[in-house]
Structure 1
C-alpha cells in the first residue's frame, strides 16, 4: 500500500473550532474546543486513513516574513489569552490520540507543512493537508498533494483551482503578489479582479512587468514593482526547510 501522510494545520483547526464553541465562560469554551478538536481530528483520521500523520503548530514570531515585512499579520485578530495559554493541553491531547506534533520558534506551520509535503511527495508518498488556508493551494500543482477542507468535507486539487480562478496552482503566487492574500499586501489599486485579468492575459508577474508604462492595472503593477516582488516573496511557501523530521517517526496506528 502506498504511504499516505496527513499533515494537520493545528491553529487553523483549533481556532475555527474554538470560535464556534458556545460556553458560559472562556475556560469552558477552551475545554469545549479541546474536546471538539479531538473529535474532529479523529473523524479526519478515519476519513483519510493515513499511514502517517503530524500536527504542526505555528512557532513564536518573528519569522523570516516579519523580517521582510514588519507589518506581516499586524492586522490579524490576536488569539485570546485563554486559548493561547492552553495550547499545551491541545498538544497533549493530540499526542494521546497517537499523532505526533511539531512546533519550532520562528517557523510558521505553513512553511513546515510545505517542506514536509514536498519531501514526502518526492519519495512517492501521497499527502493530504488538513486546512482551510488557501496559501496551500500553490502546492496542488503536484498530483500527489491534496488539500482537505474538513469543515466542508471537500478535497481540493489542481482542477479545483483552475475551475475557481482560471489558472493553475503554480501561478497563484504571482496572482497573490498583485491581488494580495490576507496578510500579503499585494499591489495598491489592482485587487482580485484586476489581478485575475492580468493573469489571464499575460500568464504571470514577469510578463506583466514587460508591459512597461502601460495604463490600467498593468501600469500599476509596473509602477509598484518592488511591492509586487515583496508580496510574491511573502506569498511563496518555503519548501526546503531542514527540520529533522523523518517519515518513519510519523507512523500512525
Structure 2
C-alpha cells in the first residue's frame, strides 16, 4: 500500500525561517548581506533536517511539498477581507524559495503547484483521491483547516509537536467533531483566515446550535433553538454560506500528476 506524505510547504518553511529571522527583527531585511546569507543557510539546513526526520519517522513511499499558486484569488473574490490580516512573505524568504525547493529535490521530495489554487486545495484534492483508492495519506501541517479531512485513510500530522491529530483532540479543542468544524468556524469566526463569523454568535451558542442537528438549516428549525439565534442565522445566511465555501477545501483540483511521479527518489544530497 502506498503512503503519500503531502507537506504544506509554506506552513513548514515559514515557521522554520521565522526561528532563524527572529533574532534580527524588526529590521531583518536591513542586516548585512553575510547575515542574510546565514539566515537562509540556517533555514536550508533546518528544512533538510526536518524532511529527513519526517521521512524517518513516518516512512512514506511517496512525498511532495505543495506550494500556493500565484493566481489563487478565488476566495478573495468571494470575500475581499480573506486573509487580509496576514503579513506578506519576507522578501528574503521569497527570494530563497528556489534554493529551498532544490534542497527538497536533492532529498527526493517533489514540489507541486497549481497556479489558480492554494496549497490547501491541492493537498485536499490529492488526499481525497488517494483515500478513495484506499491509500494512506499523511498531511504535514499545523493549519487547522485540514482537520475536516481526517478519516481512516487521511491523517494530519503536526511536525513541530511531533503528534497526529485525532477526532478526540479536535473535539477537546473545539467542542465539535471534525465534520462540524467548517460550520463552527463560519459561525464563531476564524482569525487565521480573517473570517468574522456571525455577530452575536459565540462558541457557547454555536456549540448549542450544532448539537441540535447535522446542518444549520435543520438546527434553526429545532424546537430547542432559541428564536434570537435562528433570527441571527437567517439574517446572516448569505454570509454564512460564503464563509463555509471559503473554509471548505476544494477536492476537485486537476493536476495531471499520477502517484508514480511522487515516489520518493534516492537522495542526492
The normalised TM-score by structure 1 is 0.91
CA contact (8 A) 1:208 1:221 kept: no
Q: Considering only aligned residues, what root-mean-square deviation do their CA atoms show, in Å?
A: 2.0
Which of the residues 211, 221, 228 maps onto 2:233? 221
1:18 maps to 17
Change (3 A) 1:70 1:95: same
1:172 maps to 181
Give per-residue Cα distances to partners, 1:65-86, cap 9 Å, x unaligned.
1221122111111111111121
1:152 aligns with 2:164: no
Which of the residues 226, 235, 245 maps onto 1:233? 245
> Tell me, which stretches of 5 or more residues in structure 1 are unaligned?
none
> Tell me, which stretches of 5 or more residues in structure 2 are unaligned?
30-35
Give per-residue Cα distances to partners, 1:8-49, cap 9 Å, x unaligned.
000000111111125555523232122111211210111100
2:218 maps to 207
Which of the residues 53, 68, 75 maps onto 2:63? 53
1:35 maps to 45
**Hey, which bits of structure 1, 4+ residues long, moved more than 6 A?**
none
1:129 aligns with 2:128: no
Change (3 A) 1:211 1:185: farther
Change (3 A) 1:19 1:218: farther
Separation (CA, whole Å) in 2 of partners of 1:132 and 1:166: 19
CA contact (8 A) 1:4 1:50 kept: yes
Secondary structure at the aligned position of 2:211 is classed as helix
Choose 1 or 2 for highest CA Rg: 2
Which of the residues 171, 189, 197 maps onto 1:186? 197
Change (3 A) 1:185 1:60: farther
